[in-house]
Amino acid sequence: MKCKKLYGIMLGAFLLSGHVFAASKASVNIIPKPNQVVVGEGYFVFSNGMTISAPAGSRSKALLVQKLQAAAGIGLKDVAGSKASVELSIRKAPELGTEGYRLLVTKKEIKLDAATENGLYYGVQSLLQLLPPQIESGQKVEANWQVPCVSISDTPRFSYRGIMLDCSRHFSTVDEIKKMLDAFALYKINKFHWHLTDDQGWRIEIKRYPKLTQIGSVRVEEGKPYGGFYTQEQAKEIIQYATDRNIEVIPEIEMPGHGMAALAAYPEYSCTGGPFKQPRITWGVEDDVFCAGNDATYTFLQNILDEVCTLFPSKYVHVGGDECPKVRWQNCPKCQSVMKANGLKTEMELQSYFTKRMEKYLESKGKRLFGWDEILEGGIAPSATIMSWRGEQGGIEAANAGHDVVMTPGGYVYLDHYQGDMLCEKVKIGGLSTLQNVYGYDPIPKAIADDKAFHVLGLQGNMWQEYMFEPNQIEFQIFPRVTAIAEVGWTKKENKNLDSFIQRIDNQQIRWDYHSLNYYIPMPEGNMNYIQFTDKVTLPFTTNRPVKVVYTLDGSDPTATSAVYSEPLTVDRSVTLKLRSVLPQGTLSPVRAIELTKTVPYKGLAKVDGLNKGMKMRYVKDGDYTSVNQLEAVAQWKDTIVTSINDFFKFKKKEQSGGAAILDGYIYVEKDGDYTLHCLADQFYLNGKLLIVNDKMKKNAKSDITVPLTAGYFPIKIVFLNRQYQGVVSEWMDARPTVRPVSNTNRDLPTVVYY
Ligand code: ACM
Ligand code: ZN
C-alpha cells in the first residue's frame, strides 16, 4: 500500500513538473504498444557504476544487467532498497494482474514495479525498447544509452499470445528454437505451441515406444533421408529456456488423424494393420489414421500422453483433432462395432467419442485438452479448449457454448502464407497475409455474445512448415508478422494504430539485425519475372510498406548505393533488371531479378480449319520421369483427346506419381497486344518456342511470362511429368494454360484450347 502511494506521488510530481506528454518529444517505439504512456521531457542517461535494486533472483534484473553490460559496456551495481538509480520491485497490485507492470522514468531514476516477476520481465522488455536498438547487440557498440522520461502503466488485453511452430514437417534445431524464443520474448509472446507430431515426422522421444523416433522421425525424400527429433532432455532444455522468458510451452501430439509417422512405426494401431513404408513424404493429409475401435490404440496413446504430461509443465496438452479422414473407420469392423456398441450414428461422433476418452484421461492427469475446431463436430468434449483455424466459426460456436477458445483463423494469422506478391518470394503453400492484414485482426468476432467474450483467451500465429525448405525461411515468415500478433494480443483495440505500428517497425528491424534474424522486407512488386517486348517496355513497381527501392540493369546485385527507383522504368534492350528494397539502416532485401528480352511479336495464324475444343494428348501411365530428357526413352506412347491436362489424372490413383504426357493444341487471342502466359506443367511452348519451364517446383506462377502476340491462333505444346518434388505432387497443380491480357491478374481463368 505504502509503495503504491509512493508511485502515485512520483507520477504526480512527474506530471506537475511540466513533463506533460507530447508525442513529438521522443518517439516511443515499443511493440506491443503499451496501453497507457505519458512521455515527458528529457532523458535518463545510463552510466557505469549506477545502482540497481531488485527482488532476489530476479531474472528481469539479470536480463537488464546483461544487456547493458554486453551492448553498452555499462555495469550496474547491486544495492538494496529504494535509493537505487534503477529500482525493480514486486508489490501487491491486483490491478496489474499477472503480467502488467508500471514503469516510471525520470531524469534521476527508473522505477519499475509489478505484482509478479513476469510483470517485471515485461517492464524490462519495454525499458529495453526505450533504449536505442543497439541494446540488442551481443557486443559493445556506440550509442546514446539513454531512455526518454516516460510513465507507463500497462496490462495485456489477452492472456494468450502465441506462436505455433510445426517441427514435424521441417525440423528446427534446439538452437534455432531458442533464437526464436529470444525474439518472441521481446514482444511479450507468452505461449509456444509446439507441433511435435504429424504424418511426416514424429519429433519427441517417448521412452516406452522407441520406434516412434527410430522409424517415425525419418522420411526418405528423393532418395535422401530427412529427419530429427528432440530427446526428452532437449525438450526440458527448451521448456526451461522458454519459461525463463515468460513463455509456456504447449505440446501437441496429433490424434486421431495426422498420425502416419507413428503408424509407420506401430502399424498395429491403424485400422488396416499396415504395413506402411515410412512417414508420409507428401504434404497434405493421410487417409490412414489411428483406429478408434481398438482399445489397444487408446492404451498406446495414453502411454504416450503419460510421458508428455510428465515432461511438459503446461496445464494444456493439445491433441490435434484436425483433418481426420473417416474412410478407414467406415471400412473397419472394430471401429464400426464400437460405433454400434455406443450408439454412435456417424464417424464424426466416433471422433467425438475418441476425443472425450482422451479428455478424461488428461483430466485424470490434471491436464486440460486443447484441440483444433474439428473436435466440435460430433459433439465437443466438455472441458475442451478450441483453436479456431477454419475461419472464426468454430471459435464463435465454442465460446457461445461456454468453451475457452484461441483464435487462429487461417485468413489472418497463418504465418505460412505469402506476405506480398508471390512472384517476389520463395515458394510457399499459398495464401496472402500481409503485415497489415494480421494487424487488422480482432480476435473477438461480433458474433460472440458480450457475456461470452471472456472465453476468447487470445490469438496465435501458426507457422506450418511444409514449405520451409531452408531453416531461415521460418524466421522470414514469422518476422515481422509476430509483432502484429503481439500487438493485437496485448494492446487494447482503441489504442491500436496501423500507421504508428508501421513506423515502429523501423526501430525493431535494427534489433532483428543484431539477432541475425532473416526477416521479410517488402519487395518491389509488379510485373512478371520474365518479360518479352517489341520496342520498349515501361515497368512500374510498388512496395506494400513505404521503403526505398534500388536497381541495376547490368546484371549485378543492387547495393544500398545503386540507382534509386523513383518512377516507372523504361527499358528498350534485352537486360536483366535487378531490384531490391533498402531499409533506413541500410539492410537490403533479397534480390528480385526480371529477365527482359527484346523480340518481334509472336504471329497468330488468321485461320486454322476444322478445330475442335480440347487437346491431343500422348501419354504413358507409368515410369518415374523427373526430367523432360528422360521422355526420349519412352518406347510406346498412347494417344487420346482431352479437354484439360487434368484429365491425365484419370489414369492414376489419388496423389500417385509416375507417367507423363505431351499435349498439342491451339489457343486463340482476339487482339494484338501484350499477354501473360501461365502454365504449371514442366514445359510450355508457343509457336514452337519454349517459353515456360517449371523444372523443380510446379507451383505458384513464378514462371509466368509476358509476351507480345498478334491476333490469331497459336500452336502450343505442353510437356507434363507426373512427378513429386519436395513434398508436392503434380496432381495438386492445375496445369491448364492461361493466356490473359497483361492487365488481367486472374491467372486462374483457364483459356479455351483447341485441336
Ligand atoms: C490446421 O491448419 N490443419 C490446423
Ligand atoms: Zn478402426
Q: Supply the pLDDT for residue 3.
A: 36
Nine-digit cell at 224?
Answer: 535422401
In angstroms, the CA 2 to CA 10 distance is: 13
In angstroms, the CA 132 to CA 232 distance is: 39
Say how far residue 533 (Cα) sits from the centre of its chain: 37
**193, 389, 406, 465: residue to mutate for ligand 1 pocket, most atoms within 8 A of CB:** 389
Residue found by looking up cell 514449405 in the block: 467
Task: Output phi, psi for 116, to 5 deg.
Answer: -140, 165
Ligand approaching nearest to the C-alpha of 324: 1
Task: Output phi, psi for 460, to 5 deg.
Answer: -145, 140
Contact 622, 633 (CB under 8 A): no
- C-alpha closest to that of 492 among 246, 156, 172, 733: 156
Provide, for the chain, the percentages of residues in helix, strand and coil under a 3-state DSSP scheme, each rounded to the nearest 5. 30, 25, 45
Q: Which residues of 674-692 are buried (b: 16+ CB within 10 A; e: fewer)?
A: bbbbbbbbbbbbbeeeebb
Q: Supply the pLDDT for residue 18.
A: 32
Task: List all residues 6 or more positions away from 660 whose beta carbon is below 8 Å from its beta carbon.
Answer: 619, 620, 623, 625, 631, 634, 719, 720, 721, 722
Instruction: Quote the ligand 1 centre to 149 CA distance (angstroms).
Output: 45
Position in ligand 1 atom list of the atom nearest CA 462:
2
Instruction: Quote the ligand 1 centre to 284 CA distance (angstroms).
Output: 10
Which residue minimizes the CA distance to atom 2 of ligand 1? 389
Contact 288, 260 (CB under 8 A): yes
Q: Give 6-65 pLDDT, tens digit per residue.
A: 344 344 444 433 333 334 467 899 999 999 999 999 999 999 999 999 999 999 999 999
Which positions are annotated as active-site residues? 198, 258, 323
Helix axes 333-341, 347-364, angle to 10 degrees: 80
Instruction: Quote the ligand 1 centre to 195 CA distance (angstroms).
Output: 11
Q: Supply the pLDDT for residue 745.
A: 84
Burial class (CB in 10 A: 0-12, 13-18, 19+), 720: buried
Residue 244 beta carbon below 6 angstroms from any ligand 1 atom = no
Ligand approaching nearest to the C-alpha of 370: 1
In angstroms, the CA 231 to CA 204 distance is: 6
| Residues in the chain, total | 755
Task: Output phi, psi for 167, to 5 deg.
Answer: -90, 5
Q: Supply the pLDDT for residue 6.
A: 37
**168, 286, 372: residue to mutate for ligand 1 pocket, most atoms within 8 A of CB:** 372
- C-alpha closest to that of 673 among 741, 605, 720, 729: 741
Which amino acid appears at position 200 of this protein?
Q
Position in ligand 1 atom list of the atom nearest CA 387:
4
Contact 315, 369 (CB under 8 A): no
Q: Supply the pLDDT for residue 81.
A: 79
DSSP 527-568: S-SEEEESS-EEE--B-SS--EEEEESSSSPP-TTSEEP-S-
Q: Which domains does the chain have, with CATH numbers?
A: 2-154 (3.30.379.10), 160-500 (3.20.20.80), 530-598 (2.60.40), 615-754 (2.60.120.1560)
Low-confidence ranges of the chain (pLDDT < 50): 1-24
Q: Give 307-321 pLDDT, tens digit per residue.
A: 999 999 999 999 999
Sign of the dihedral through C-alpha 230, 236, 239, 242? negative
Say how far residue 593 (Cα) sits from the centre of its chain: 25
pTM: 0.95
Which residue minimizes the CA distance to atom 3 of ligand 1? 322
Instruction: Quote the ligand 2 centre to 536 CA distance (angstroms).
Output: 65
Residue 323 beta carbon below 6 angstroms from any ligand 1 atom = yes
Task: List all residues 6 or more positions away from 724 whose beta carbon is below 8 Å from its beta carbon.
Answer: 222, 281, 282, 657, 730
Position in ligand 1 atom list of the atom nearest CA 323:
3
Residue 354 beta carbon below 6 angstroms from any ligand 1 atom = no
Residue 285 beta carbon below 6 angstroms from any ligand 1 atom = no
> Which protein residues have their CB within 5 A of the ion that is ligand 2?
271, 291, 293, 332, 334-335
Nine-digit cell at 213?
Answer: 523416433
Instruction: Quote the ligand 1 centre to 354 CA distance (angstroms).
Output: 19
Task: Output phi, psi for 419, to 5 deg.
Answer: -105, -10
Instruction: Quote the ligand 2 centre to 262 CA distance (angstroms).
Output: 15
Coil, strand or helix at 466: coil
Q: Supply the pLDDT for residue 13.
A: 40
DSSP 186-208: HTT--EEEEE-EETTEE-B--TT
In angstroms, the CA 511 to CA 380 distance is: 44
Q: Give 148-157 pLDDT, tens digit per residue.
A: 999 999 999 9
Position in ligand 1 atom list of the atom nearest CA 320:
4
Strand order in the sheet with 638-642: 638-642, 615-620, 660-669, 712-721, 683-686, 689-693
Determine if residue 320 is left, alpha or beta; phi over 0 gives left, psi from -120 to 50 gives alpha, anything else beta: left
In angstroms, the CA 386 to CA 185 distance is: 24
Q: What is the DSSP letter of 34?
A: P
DSSP 565-582: P-S-EEE-S-EEEEEEEE
**197, 322, 324, 429: residue to mutate for ligand 1 pocket, most atoms within 8 A of CB:** 322
Which amino acid appears at position 313 of this protein?
P
Which amino acid appears at position 72 of this protein?
A
Nine-digit cell at 698?
Answer: 510446379
Which amino acid appears at position 307 of this protein?
E
Residue 192 beta carbon below 6 angstroms from any ligand 1 atom = no
- C-alpha closest to that of 539 among 588, 589, 579: 579
Contact 20, 84 (CB under 8 A): no
Instruction: Quote the ligand 2 centre to 448 CA distance (angstroms).
Output: 37
Position in ligand 1 atom list of the atom nearest CA 414:
2
In angstroms, the CA 133 to CA 148 distance is: 14
Nine-digit cell at 142?
Answer: 556506440
Residue 390 beta carbon below 6 angstroms from any ligand 1 atom = no
Ligand approaching nearest to the C-alpha of 391: 1
Coil, strand or helix at 46: coil
Position in ligand 1 atom list of the atom nearest CA 389:
4
Instruction: Quote the ligand 2 centre to 293 CA distance (angstroms).
Output: 5
Residue 411 beta carbon below 6 angstroms from any ligand 1 atom = no
